[in-house]
Amino acid sequence: MIKEFIKKIGTGPHGVRDLTREEAAKAAGLLLSGTVTPAQTGALLLGLRLKGETGEEMGGFLDSLRTILPPPPSPSLFDLDIGDPYDGKTRSISLVVPAAIKAARMGISIVLHGLPGVPVKQGPGVVDVWRSLGRTLSKPGERVGSEGKGAVCCLSQESFLPDLARLLPIRQELGLRTLWNTVEKCVNPQDSGAQIIGIFHEPVIEKLRQAIIKEKSLPPRRILFVCGSEGGVDLYTHRATHCHLLDPALGPDLRPVTIPPPGKPPSSLPSPGDGPGLAKILEEIAKDPAHPVAYHLRRQTALFLFASGKCETFEEAEEQVADGGSIHEPVTPSPPSRSHP
């Protein structure tokens, strides 16, 4: 069966054709089942990449992942799912994790998820940063600790999509961005009420819109696509950041949103460095409101408030963000009580 799919997408310029959503879901299911060889897995992923993945193919791969997800809590305990690219950042530190913790203290419950070692960049991702701060990974459906008013948890892909995590060595051997990179950050494993997803290439957003919502249906949740630093959800620190909002309350179309450039002179972010060094930098930023990067941490926190739908505009969210607080505070075992709209 997998050979049929490889033939359809890899025959050549005159015979190649796109897979339907159903075919893509079957092909992805075969990759996840472990019944195909590494060579066949690589052939299918490279064939799709060279041909150019369609929204239908993205949707099929996403469908295959959603069918094997552990059942999320019902009703959902989380307001926002952060789909930052799993391959992390290499040019500068990411403020995603400390901003998520800060946003949780302001009343929203957040899910982070990732997997270390994902190509192409293989930089520190949310799981690496979370661990560097001395925090424990959660499990799907697990009661999570409180950050005051809200809560935040971090999941490793190994815990909620082990069949996909098992393909990591093959993905590392390929050393290229594949369709898995695009869809794994979109799965929303805890069925959060809203999503924020980092995108590198802006044309991919319309394809993902097609993949995430099924034909003739409104999107089930609010989604903010962010064309941020290194293709993630981190805001740029020197210029405006372009986003696209998909909101079921406003209809099925994408709406452009521009996050204005920083109001203060640009300041470069430090490089990621190692785990202990990264943790020290992030703690200093979170504790000192006068730190040169603290202003950008507040803006990142505001982005998450806006993405969750708790604030109508980014500017309103900026006004609500407070200073201070430690990102090393112990997590208490009290569960959040929030549910998405």
Report pLDDT for 11: 87
pTM of the predicted model, to two decimals?
Answer: 0.91
Per the CB < 8 A criterion, the answer to whether 78 and 111 are in contact is: yes
> Where does the pLDDT of residue 336 fall: very low under 50, low under 70, confident under 90, or very high at 90 and above?
very low
- Tokens of residue 203, six digits: 């044309």
Phi and psi at residue 81, in whole multiples of 5°?
-105, 125
Residue 69 in tokens: 């997800």
- The enclosing H or E element of 170 equals helix 168-174
Backbone angles phi, psi at 114, to 5 degrees: -175, -170
* Mean pLDDT, residues 126-149 taken together: 83
- Cα end-to-end distance, the chain, whole Å: 42
Q: Does residue 75 or residue 178 have the better pLDDT?
A: 178
Rounded Cα distance, 108 and 41, in Å = 39
Distance CA(285)–CA(292), nearest Å, equals: 8
Query: Cβ(179)–Cβ(32) under 8 Å?
Result: no
Rounded average pLDDT over 257-279: 80
- The confidence score (pLDDT) of residue 149 equals 65
Backbone angles phi, psi at 138, to 5 degrees: -95, 175
Structure confidence at residue 322 (pLDDT): 65
**Strands, E assignment, 98-144:** 110-114
**Distance between CA atoms of 189 and 99, rounded to whole angstroms?**
20
What pLDDT digit, counting tens, does each position of 280-328 carry? 888 888 888 888 899 999 999 999 999 999 999 999 999 999 644 445 4
Residue 215: closest CA among 55, 324, 334, 341:
55
| Second-level CATH architecture of 80-320 | 3-Layer(aba) Sandwich (3.40)
Confidence check: pLDDT of 77 > 50: yes
Which residues does 335 contact at the CB level (< 8 Å), separation at least 6?
77, 143, 144, 146, 151
Q: What share of the chain in percent tops pLDDT 70? A: 88
What's the rounded mean pLDDT across residues 73-89?
91
Burial status of residue 313 (CB atoms within 10 A of its CB: 0-12, 13-18, 19 or more)? exposed
Q: What is the CATH number of domain 2-67?
A: 1.20.970.10
Domain boundaries, given as residue ranges, for the chain:
2-67, 80-320
